[in-house]
Amino acid sequence: MAFELVLLSAFLAMIFWGVGDFLIQRSVRKIGDLESLAIIGLIGAVGLLPFVLWDFSSIFFIENLLILLLLGIVTFFGAMFDFEALKKGKLSVVEVVIEFELPLTIIIGFVLFKEVLTLWQLILVIPVFFGILLMAVGSSSKKLIILFRG
């Protein structure tokens, strides 16, 4: 039963992520980058407030406040770049480029933080990398065929 629940959760996360990106692209094109980010942030803040309400007093420690501020700035600029890409590009192309975030994160973990993958983690990561590579190459080859036809 647990495996089925995990599989169902992963499938639902994939579906909702795709629907979310589609709706973000529509709202960014209709009302703009900053406005869409503000609405998403407001909905997220209201939705997540009950989970952090009891720990809210720890925000007033200077270390926590600085980390939260730094992460907020980085996330803001990352979201603005993402939203601008979704506004100007096609969702299918932008998502392939965004998927390179995962291999890049793992490579940064290896290089900067001296992280090590276990054999089991490596067995799970290799098909994900291969899938991302297939998505990128598949999209590129279609574009090259269209380019040569044109």
Residue that wins the pLDDT comparison between 147 and 50: 50
Evaluate whether residue 7 is within a structural domain. Answer: no
**Do 104 and 83 reside in the same domain of the chain?**
no
**Do 81 and 148 reside in the same domain of the chain?**
no
Residue that wins the pLDDT comparison between 118 and 95: 118
**Residue % of the chain over a pLDDT of 90:** 45
Evaluate whether residue 6 is within a structural domain. Answer: no
Evaluate whether residue 22 is within a structural domain. Answer: yes
Evaluate whether residue 115 is within a structural domain. Answer: yes
Question: What is the tens place of the pLDDT at every residue in 3-31?
Answer: 899 999 999 998 998 899 999 999 999 99
Two tokens, residue 57: 């007093």
Q: Name the range with the highest mean pLDDT among 50-59, 67-76, 139-148.
A: 67-76
**Do 78 and 112 reside in the same domain of the chain?**
no
Which helix or strand (DSSP H or E) is residue 150 part of? none
**Do 40 and 74 reside in the same domain of the chain?**
yes
Answer whether residue 150 shows pLDDT above 60.
Answer: no
Answer whether residue 80 shows pLDDT above 90.
Answer: yes
Per the structure, the count of domains in the chain is 2
**Do 20 and 78 reside in the same domain of the chain?**
yes
Domain that holds residue 36: 12-44+55-90
State the burial class of residue 36 (Cβ atoms within 10 Å of its Cβ: 0-12, 13-18, 19+). buried
**Do 103 and 82 reside in the same domain of the chain?**
no
Query: 150: how many CB neighbours lie within 10 A of its CB?
Result: 5
Contact criterion met (CB below 8 Å) for 103 and 132: yes
Evaluate whether residue 49 is within a structural domain. Answer: no
Closest Cα to residue 129, out of 150, 148, 88, 101? 101
pLDDT of residue 149: 39
**Do 31 and 86 reside in the same domain of the chain?**
yes
